[in-house]
Amino acid sequence: MSKTLTLAQPAIEKQVRQRSLWIDAFDRFRRNKMAVGSLAFIIFVLLTAVFGPIISPYDPLRQNLLDVAKPPSMAHWFGTDSLGRDYLTRVMMGGRTAFLVAVVVTTITTVMGVLIGTSAAYWGRWFDNLIMRLTDIIMAFPHLLLAMFIAGTIRPRFLDLTKSITWLRGTGVADYLVVFGALAVVSWPGYARLIRGQVLSLVHSEFIAAERMLGASSWKIMRDHLIPNALGPVIVALSAQFGGAMLLESSLSFLGIGIQPPGASWGNMISDNLLTWRYQPHLLAIPGIVLTLVVLAFNFLGDGLNDALNPRARR
């Protein structure tokens, strides 16, 4: 009896020791059905957004005025819009916009947030003060109002700029650039503050002091110790940021200052069909429901990641 125990124990210990923090987190995440389901849904929508318009027999811009505002049918699964365009293809194009904006904006804000937040916390003093007051100012404005303000003021100038570049003319690239810029400006402060808080709690820990005493450069300490250790909450925030960027993009497009027709965005599809809601409610409801489901999925994914990566914060 005692012999088998002594034999078995080292084997278990060995196995336990090999499990890294990340594998542990992955295991915890896998057990959360809601989060896994959300992830699957997000991947599904992403795939349809990327490949759907290619597979679809309809051109998202091709108008067919004989087939205007048809309810869903076998030929057009989501029906057709008021210009006779296949609505399913339009919704998938809207998905492209949403994911493109989310990926670009999240990348910009993450890079900005990590760089600015880490350096603010690391160097402290006046630099920290400056950055924190700057974020205070930006965060004092309601997010949407500030994004509207920025998009509204830089839009005309950007349009002028792209008009002078021949290959950009009429492509709608300017709309995307305006949205990227506006969303990045309103989103980075939250990120930078989060990272700063994380790094501040690490900077004064003993292993950083030891590293510094061993003569490591600031850059090496940041890269090898501060950023990896602050990564958990950042990944969680990433998921929320993704959903948030999609929501803001749709909001701006809904208000007519984001993506402009004929470009497709779930936001401008809703506002385009607002006046005819009595006669074609499905045109209004479909993009709204898709947008809500995707944002909801990102929220559940974020919750799942939070439980997996920050086990100490669990209720």
Partner 1 sequence: MRLLIPQDVNPDQATIDRLRHQYGLDKPFLVQLRDYLTNLAHGNFGSSIALNRPVGSALAHALPISMQLGLAALVLIIIVGIPLGVITALKQNTWLDYTILFGTITLSTIPPFVLAPLLMILLILKLHILPSTTGWSGIFSVKAILPVVTLAVGPLLGVVRYTRFSVIEVLGQDYVRTARAKGLPMRAIIFRHILPNALTPVVTSLGLTVAGLITGSIFLENIFGIPGFGQLAVNSITGNDYQVILGTTIVGALLVIGSNLIVDVLYGLLDPRVRLQ
Spatial contact of 254 and 268, defined as CB atoms under 8 Å apart: yes
**Minimum separation from the CB atom of position 109 to partner 1 (A):** 19
Q: What are phi and psi of 286, to 5 degrees?
A: -60, -55
Task: Collapse the DSSP code of 86 into the 3-class scheme (helix H, G, I; strand E, B; otherwise coil) and give the result.
Answer: strand
86 DSSP β-pair partners: 80
Q: How far is the CB of 137 from partner 1 (least distance, A)?
A: 9
Reported as type and span, the H/E element at residue 8 is helix 2-18
Helices (H) and strands (E) in the chain, counts: 12, 0
Contacts with partner 1, residue ranges (CB under 8 A): 140-146, 148-149, 151-153, 156, 247, 250-251, 254-257, 267, 270-271, 274, 277-278, 281, 284-285, 288-289, 291-292, 295-296, 299
Please provide the size of the chain in residues: 315
Residue written as token pair 């804000």? 109
For the bound state, the minimum distance from the C-beta of residue 97 to partner 1, rounded and expressed in Å, comes to 16
Judged by CB, which is closer to partner 1: 193, or 225?
A: 193
SS3 for 206-265, per residue?
HHHHHHHHCCCCHHHHHHHHHHHHHHHHHHHHHHHHHHHHHHHHHHHHHCCCCCCCCCCC
Q: Which of 157, 151, 116, 115 is nearest to 248 (CA)?
A: 151
Min dist. Cβ of residue 178 to partner 1 (A): 12
- Pick between residue 146 and residue 231 the one whose CB is nearest to partner 1: 146
Instruction: Report how far residue 110's alpha carbon sits from residue 57's, in angstroms, rounded to the nearest whole number.
Output: 38
Measured from the CB of residue 276, what is the shortest distance to partner 1 in angstroms?
Answer: 11
Q: How far is the CB of 118 from partner 1 (least distance, A)?
A: 28
CA torsion, ordered 182, 166, 91, 149, to nearest 10 deg: 20
Q: Which CB, 25 or 101, lies closer to partner 1?
A: 101
Q: Residue 119 or residue 253: which is nearer to partner 1 going by CB? A: 253
Nearer to partner 1, 139 or 216 (CB): 139
- The distance of closest approach from Cβ of residue 243 to partner 1 in the complex, given in angstroms and rounded to an integer, is 8
Cβ neighbours of residue 1 under 8 Å, at least 6 residues apart?
Answer: none
Q: How far is the CB of 231 from partner 1 (least distance, A)?
A: 26
Residue position matching structure tokens 């749709």? 250
Instruction: Indicate the residue among 154 and 216 with the shorter CB distance to partner 1.
Output: 154
> For partner 1, which is the closer residue by CB, 188 or 266?
266
Cβ proximity to partner 1, 154 vs 200, nearer residue: 154
**Distance, CA of 233 to CA of 87 (rounded, Å):** 38
